Amino acid sequence: MFTRKNQTETAATAAAQPAPEAKPDGKGRPTPTRKEAEAARKAALKTPATRKDMARAERDRRTKERGKVRQAMSTGDDRYLPPRDKGPVKGLARNVVDSRRNVGEYLMPVLVIILLVSLIRAPWAVSAIYLLWVITIVGTIVDSFFLVRRVKREVAARFPDASTKGLTTYTIMRSTQIRRLRLPKPQVSRGDSY
C-alpha cells in the first residue's frame, strides 16, 4: 500500500504523459527563486537614511536620465528620445526635412533683416520691407506645402499602416528651424538619400 514505485514505472508513466504546452501569453521569463525575490524586495525597501540622501539619489537619477536624452538628441537613438520625436515615422520625417534646403529655415534671418530695415524711414525701405515680407511668407507656405506632401508620400510608401497624427505640424516646425539648432541633430546631409 505505501510501497515505493519502481523507478522504471515512474519513468514509463512520465514518458506516457504529454508535455505541457507553452502558454503564448506567458510572462516570457522564469519565475525567480525565493532567495532572488527576497533580495529584490529588500533592495527595493532600502531607502536613504535622510531626506538629503533621498534628494541626492533622486537628483542623480534625473541627471542620468537627462544625459541619456541629451545623448539621444545627438545620435538619434530612438530609445531615449522624448515622446514627441520617437518612432520610425518621425525619424523618416526628420530625414526628409534634413535632406533638402527649406525656405523656412531662412525665415528667422530674413525677419531680422526686415526688422533692421524697418528702422529706416525712407519710402524705398518701406516698399522693400513689404516686398521681402510677402516673398518670405508666401515662399515658406508654398515650400512647406510641397514638403508635407513629400513626407506623407514617403511615410505612406514605407509605413502604410502607421498613424500620421501630428506629422504635418512636426514637419513644418522642423523645417522652420535653423539647421544647426535642430534637435534631434540631423542624421543626413543635404542631398543625401533618406
pLDDT value of residue 10: 54
Which region, left, alpha or beta, applies to residue 191 given φ > 0 means left and ψ of -120 to 50 means alpha?
left
Q: Using the predicted structure, report yes or no on whether residue 29 has a pLDDT greater than 90.
A: no
What sections of 17-50 are H helices per DSSP? Answer: 34-45
Cis before 32 (ω within 30): no
Tens-digit pLDDT profile for residues 134-178: 999 999 999 999 999 999 999 999 999 999 999 999 999 999 999
DSSP letter assigned to residue 191: T
Q: Using the predicted structure, report yes or no on whether residue 55 has a pLDDT greater than 70.
A: yes
Quick check: pTM over 0.75? no
pLDDT category of residue 33 using cuts at 50, 70 and 90: very high
Residue with cell 528651424: 177
pLDDT value of residue 45: 78
How far is 140 from 49, CA to CA, in rounded Å? 58
Q: Do the Cβ atoms of 32 and 40 come closer than 8 Å?
A: yes
Question: Mean per-residue pLDDT for 19-47?
Answer: 79
pLDDT category of residue 3 using cuts at 50, 70 and 90: low
